A and B are shown apart, each in its own frame.
Chain A
Amino acid sequence: MIDNLILGINAIFQPFNLFAVLLGVTSGVVVGALPGLSATMGAALVLPFTFMMEPIPAISMLSALYCGAIYGGSIPAILINTPGTPAATITTLDGYKLSQQGKAGKALGTAVIASGIGGLFSVLVLILLAPQVAKIALSFAGPEYFCLAVFGLSMVTNIQAGSELKNIIGGLIGLILVTVGIDTLTGFSRFTFGNVNLMSGIGFIPVMIGLFAAAEIFRLAETWVKTKMDLKSISDLPKFSELWPLRWCILRSAVLGTFIGILPAEGGTVASFMSYNEAKRWSRHPEKFGTGILEGIAAPETANNAATGGAMIPTLTLGIPGSSTTAVILGGLMIQGLRPGPLLFTNQPKLVYSIFIAMAIANIIFLIIGLYGAKLFAQVARVPIYILCPIVMVLCFVGSYALNNNTTDVWIMLISGIVGYYMKKIGFSAAPIVLGMVLGKLIEYSFRQSMNIFDNDLSIFITRPYSATFLFLTIISFCWPMISKLWKNKKINR
C-alpha cells in the first residue's frame, strides 16, 4: 500500500495534475457557493472538459470538485440562509443565525475547519478501507454482484424521507431507461422504435445533466427571487479556544459522515441531518441548537464532507455510487475507458491512489482558501442569476452534445430536464433515477448471467454467503422506513 501511495503522490505532484486539483477545488467552491448549483450539477457540467484529459487529472479534478462543492455549499447557507448544496441545508439553522448576530466570520471559519477535518478523516478511512473491500470484492461473481446492486438500489428508499414509494419508482424508471438500445447479451434491440440514434441506448450523462442541471434552471426560472447579503462581519475568524470544545462533536460527526457516505445512495445530505441530530442529542445544551451556536455548524459540515470520502469507497471498489455526485465520477471513469470495481485496484493502482491523494490535497486546499478567501467566494453568490443561468444552460447543451457529437443527446438532455422539473414538483427526487441507470445494466446482466450459469436456480442467491448477506441487507433497507416509523410511534406512546 505504501508503494502505491508513493506512486499516487508522485503522480498528483506533476504540475498539470496539481493544477487540475486546484482547478477542481476552486470551481467546486464556486459551484457550491452559488445557490441552485449542486455538487452533482457542477461535476456534470465539468465532465465534458475532462473528455480530452488523461485519466489521472480528469478524475482528480472531478473528485476535488466534489470536496470543494460540498464545503462551498455552506457559504450561502451561512450568509443568505440559502444552502448552496442540499447537503448544507441544516447548516442554515445555526449559520444564518450567527450571521445575523454579526458573527458570519466565526460561522464560516468553523464551517471550513470542520469540513476540512471531516474530509481528511474520510480520505484516511478511504485509503485504509477501500483496498480491503476491493480484495473481498475480487471473489464476487454474478450472484453477488446482482444482490449487491439490488442492495445499492434499495438504499434509494431512504434518500428522501416520506417519499419512499416515489424513490422506488424513480429507481425503477432508471432501470427501464437503460433497457433502451441493443441488449449486449443477445444483440437484439429494445424500445428503439426504429430510431437508429437510440440503438446505442439512452446516455446516462445527458439524462443526468438534464435531471440535475437543466431541471434546476427551469425551477429557478419559476421561483427565483432576489436576496441580500451582508459581507461586513466575514473577516472575524473563530479562535482556537472556541474550536477546541467542538473536538468530540467533530470527531463523532466525521465517523458518522464517513459511515453514511459508504452506504450506497446515501450522501452528504443524510449525513449532515443525522449528525446534527446526534450533536444535539449529545450536547449539554440542546436547547441552544438553532439559535446560532458553532456546534450546529461543525456537526453537519464535518459530516457532509466526511461523506465524500466514504461515498468513494463503494464507487471505486464495487462500481456502485455512494452518492449522486460519485455517480458522475463513475461516469467520468467509464468515459476514460475504465471499469470501476475491484479490478481497478489491481490494474490501475496509480490512478486509484492518485484519486485518494487528490482528495486529501483538495481538502487541504479548500481549508486554506476557505480561511483566507471566504470573502471572495462569498462574492460569487452575488453573481446575477440572469448571467449564471444562460451560461449553465449552454454548458448543459454543449456538455451533452460533446460526449458523442450527437444532437439526439441534446434532445434527451432537454426532455430529461423538463421531466425532472415536473417530477421534482410532485415530490420525486432525481437521485434514484440516476442510481437506477447506473446500476440497471449490472442488475439485469448479472441476474441473467447467474441464471444461465446456474440453470435458472434461484436458490443460489441465498446459498452463497455474500449474496445472502446483501439480500438480507436489502430487505432491512426496504423495511427501514417502516421500522423507524414503528420505533418512533413506540417512543411517543411511552
Chain B
Amino acid sequence: MRITSIIIYLFFIALSILFFIASFWIPNPEILQNRFGPRLFPQIILVAIVILIAFLLYQEIGKPKNEKIPIYKTGENKNRFLKTIFISFLFALLFSWIGGIPAIFIFVLGFIWIWKVRHPIILIFMPFLVSLFIYLVFHIMLSVRFPKGFIGIFF
C-alpha cells in the first residue's frame, strides 16, 4: 500500500507540474497585467497542491515499511476488479463505435460473466432487460440520443 500511495502522490505532483507549465500558455493580455487575470488562480492552486502532496509524500516515505494504512481489504478479488475496469473501458470505446444500446447489452453480459454468473437464463435475460429498460426510459421517454454506431443504426 505504501508503494501505491507513493506512486499516486508522484503522479499527482507530475500532473500538477504539467498543468503549471501549461498555465503559462493561458493568454494574459496587457490590460490585465496589474489585475488578477485567468492565469494566477490556477497557478496558486497548483503550487499549493504540489507543496501539500510533497509533504504527504515525505510523510509516507518516512513511515516504517510494514505500517498499514487503515483501509478496506484488497487483493481478494483483484482479478475481478481489473476485469471490471477493462470491461468499462471497452464499453466507453464500443459506445460510439457500435452504438449505445448494443454496447449496453455487451457490457452487461460481459460484466455478469466476470462476476461468475453462469446461469443461462440470467445471462440471456439480464442484458436484454437492462438494454430494453435504458432504451425505453432514456431513448423513448427522455429523448436521449444515443450514438448510433454501425449496429445502433437499427435503434
Contact = CB atoms under 8 A, between A and B. Distances in A.
Contacts of B142: 48-49, 51-52, 402
Given A48-B138, A402-B138, A448-B41, A223 B74 contact: yes
Given A176-B46, A223-B73, A398-B134, A405 B34 contact: no
Contact of A179 (B4, B45, B89): B45
Contact of B130 (A175, A391, A418, A451): A391
Contacts of A452: 35-36
Interface in B1-51: 1, 4-5, 8, 12, 16, 19, 22-23, 26-27, 29, 32, 34-38, 41-42, 45-46, 48-49
A389 B71 contact: no
Contacts of A173: 12, 49
Contact of B76 (A169, A190, A223, A387): A223
B56 interface: yes
A440 to B, nearest CB: 9
A426 B130 contact: no
A214 interface: yes
B92 interface: yes
A156 to B, nearest CB: 13
B98 interface: no
B35 A405 contact: no
Contacts of A407: 92, 95-96, 147
Interface string B69-107: 101111111101101110011011001100010001001
A218 B83 CA distance: 10
A447 B36 contact: yes
Interface string A209-236: 0000010011101111100000000000
Given A218-B85, A222-B81, A394-B134, A172 B41 contact: no
Interface residues of A, number: 61
Interface in A394-425: 394, 397-398, 401-402, 405, 407, 410-411, 414, 417-418, 422-425
Given A175-B45, A402-B144, A426-B4, A390 B34 contact: no
Contacts of A168: 52
B80 A221 contact: yes
Contacts of A179: 41-42, 45
A62 to B, nearest CB: 16
A168 B144 CA distance: 37
A51 B143 CA distance: 10
A interface: dominant SS: helix
B22 A223 contact: no
Contact of A222 (B16, B76, B104, B112): B76
Contacts of A49: 137, 142
B130 A394 contact: yes
B64 to A, nearest CB: 17
Interface of A: 48-49, 51-52, 165-166, 168-169, 172-173, 175-176, 179, 183, 185-186, 188-191, 193, 214, 217-219, 221-225, 385-387, 389-391, 393-394, 397-398, 401-402, 405, 407, 410-411, 414, 417-418, 422-427, 444, 447-448, 451-452, 456
9 contacts: A169-B56, A173-B12, A190-B38, A386-B116, A394-B107, A394-B130, A407-B96, A417-B88, A426-B5
Interface of B: 1, 4-5, 8, 12, 16, 19, 22-23, 26-27, 29, 32, 34-38, 41-42, 45-46, 48-49, 52-53, 55-56, 69, 71-78, 80-81, 83-85, 88-89, 91-92, 95-96, 100, 104, 107-108, 111-112, 115-117, 122, 126, 130, 134, 137-138, 141-147
Given A165-B55, A410-B92, A426-B71, 17 more contacts: A165-B56, A190-B42, A191-B23, A218-B85, A221-B80, A221-B115, A222-B78, A223-B77, A224-B77, A385-B115, A389-B115, A390-B107, A390-B108, A391-B130, A393-B107, A394-B134, A398-B134
